[in-house]
């Protein structure tokens, strides 16, 4: 393990704390100092909560010294996207509309992390109201990719991906409505997990599209994600949609290995317009999985292009409904691009929205029956093209910008509509020196299997250990 505490994994930091090699205050100070030093360039934190974080760390150290029982993340610093409500902190949702908002209650997932002993470092940058896949933000400034500051950090959980990659937090929370955990994870070279719809409570988290919103973690290893998921998953009375299914021990599942696991490579849609260097990185990852005993099989995947369109219908219809009051009362407080996106649902007939919702269980059942008859885990590129630049995706980029943005969500949006679990895993670098990633897609509630495959892959590769040059 590195001698630099900020370079440790989440579990590495937790184990060092358990052995008494470092205190939570020391870890927290190290990450806070690093965040203040690097955030001016990366802009991944909107707010760094030094005083509150150090108080939480000191309390964690006091509990440890007292001999009382400790949580599975006791004393480990993390950070959350600026849309997780905390009664003790301001939540801006990356916007001017909600600037200075003080919520009345704290998000359930933050309460669960706090109960597990984790230390919250602050609020992470995001696309305004989570409406966009690039990380541009006209009000708070774009978050920049720590691998190359001229490139996007992804969206909408831009700060969540960049902070973990730059070693400014051991883990983070993001949200995913069309790819907003997986895209930032992919472009920053970290792991991002979109759990099964309803696996994790969304109570106290800003809504964008309630039918499509997912809450999940970003970290550097599959084992880190496994521990985080076990802490935050499970039924919540404050979220009536949350599943009552028991939460398994994901870390124990990781130990089972992947001999005989069928990894499916789709014949349709997901490799359309794929760049040669992205495909090369994915092919090498599949060979590595094969060497560990997995079976690589080609599979037919039905109707994916329709799933993308259906996801847009649902997202924009619900987003417009949620924003309608502010769009009427304070339209000038939106950036131009986000105002247009938040208004898109006005052009979608109610019948189309209702049809998209009614088709969802039918298409999910068909997807599961057809795909997982052929394989256990589906594997696709997360992004089909290398990570674009901030200039290429800026609102002033004109017509050339839109195909680039469409390519960012090509492979992610279908799985929000279906609600199945998806894990984005770094698999190398493309010709521009930025990360490439694959998506592992499972049947509902198969997070443990996805984490097993990712952990096995990380056991024979070191992409997750690479540190960005700006960090």
- Report, as residue numbers or ranges, the catalytic residues: 81, 156, 180
Q: Counting runs of H as helices and runs of E as strands, what totals does the chain give? A: 15, 13
The angle that helices 304-329 and 350-371 make with each other, rounded to 10 degrees, is 140
Largest CA distance in the chain: 62
Instruction: Return d(Cα 438, Cα 279) in angstroms, integer.
Output: 10
DSSP class per residue in 202-243: -TTB--S-TTT-EEEEEESSHHHHHHHHHHHBS-BTTBTTS-
Phi/psi at 218 (5° precision): -125, 140
DSSP class per residue in 102-124: --SS--HHHHHHHHTT-EEEEEE
**299: which strand partners?**
266
Q: Using CB atoms within 10 A of its CB, is residue 90 exposed (0-12), middle (13-18) or buried (19+)?
A: middle
User: DSSP strand E in 345-445: where?
Assistant: 377-381, 422-429, 435-441
Instruction: Return d(Cα 43, Cα 33) in angstroms, integer.
Output: 15
Q: Judge contact between 167 and 467, C-beta under 8 A.
A: yes
Residues shown for the chain = 471
Phi-psi region of 122 (alpha: psi -120 to 50; beta: other; left: phi over 0): left
Q: Judge contact between 195 and 166, C-beta under 8 A.
A: no
The angle that helices 24-42 and 50-66 make with each other, rounded to 10 degrees, is 160
**45: which strand partners?**
124
User: DSSP strand E in 318-410: where?
Assistant: 377-381
Q: Judge contact between 212 and 311, C-beta under 8 A.
A: yes
Question: By C-alpha distance, which of 397, 452, 462, 403 is closest to 427?
Answer: 462
Q: Give the burial string for 119-141 (b: 16+ CB within 10 Å, else e).
A: bbbbbbbbbbbbbbbbbbbbbbe
Instruction: Return d(Cα 164, Cα 160) in angstroms, integer.
Output: 7
Token readout for 131 is 């409406």
Instruction: Return d(Cα 283, Cα 182) in angstroms, integer.
Output: 19
Instruction: Return d(Cα 351, Cα 189) in angstroms, integer.
Output: 40
């Amino acid at each position: 393990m590195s001698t630099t505490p900020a370079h440790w994994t989440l579990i590495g930091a937790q184990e060092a704390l358990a052995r008494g090699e470092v205190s939570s205050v020391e870890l927290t100070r190290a990450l806070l100092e690093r965040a203040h030093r690097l955030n001016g360039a990366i802009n991944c934190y909107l707010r760094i909560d030094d005083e509150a974080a150090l108080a939480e760390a000191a309390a964690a150290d006091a509990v440890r010294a007292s001999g009382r029982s400790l949580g599975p993340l006791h004393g480990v610093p993390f950070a959350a996207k600026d849309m997780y409500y905390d009664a003790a902190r301001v939540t801006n949702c990356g916007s001017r509309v909600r600037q200075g908002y003080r919520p009345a209650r704290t998000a359930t997932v933050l309460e669960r992390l706090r109960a597990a002993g984790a230390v919250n470092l602050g609020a992470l940058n995001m696309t305004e109201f989570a409406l966009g896949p690039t990380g541009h933000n006209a009000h708070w400034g774009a978050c920049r990719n720590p691998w190359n500051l001229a490139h996007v950090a992804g969206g909408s959980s831009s700060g969540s991906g960049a902070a973990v990659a730059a070693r400014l937090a051991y883990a983070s929370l993001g949200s995913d409505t069309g790819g907003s955990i997986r895209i930032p994870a992919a472009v920053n070279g970290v792991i991002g997990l979109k759990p099964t719809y309803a696996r994790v409570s969304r109570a106290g988290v800003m809504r964008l599209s309630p039918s499509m919103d997912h809450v999940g973690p970003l970290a550097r290893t599959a084992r880190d994600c496994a521990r985080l998921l076990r802490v935050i998953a499970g039924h919540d009375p404050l979220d009536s949609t949350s599943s009552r299914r028991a939460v398994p021990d994901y870390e124990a599942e990781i130990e089972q290995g992947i001999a005989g696991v069928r990894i499916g490579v789709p014949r349709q849609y997901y490799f359309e317009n794929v760049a040669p260097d992205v495909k090369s990185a994915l092919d090498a990852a599949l060979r590595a999985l094969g060497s560990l005993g997995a079976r690589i099989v080609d599979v037919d995947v039905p109707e994916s292009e329709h799933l993308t369109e259906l996801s847009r219908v649902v997202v924009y219809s619900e987003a417009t409904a949620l924003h309608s009051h502010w769009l009427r009362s304070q339209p000038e407080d939106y950036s131009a691009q986000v105002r247009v996106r938040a208004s898109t649902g006005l052009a979608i007939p109610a019948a189309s929205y209702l049809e998209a919702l009614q088709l969802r269980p039918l298409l999910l059942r068909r997807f599961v029956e057809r795909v997982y008859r052929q394989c256990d885990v589906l594997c696709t590129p997360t992004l089909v093209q290398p990570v674009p630049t901030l200039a290429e995706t800026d609102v002033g980029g004109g017509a050339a910008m839109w195909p680039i943005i469409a390519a960012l969500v090509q492979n992610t949006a279908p799985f929000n509509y279906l609600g199945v679990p998806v894990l984005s895993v770094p698999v190398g670098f493309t010709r521009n020196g930025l990360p490439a990633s694959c998506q592992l897609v499972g049947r509902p509630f198969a997070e443990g299997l996805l984490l097993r495959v990712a952990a096995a892959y990380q056991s024979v590769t070191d992409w997750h250990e690479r540190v960005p040059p700006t960090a």
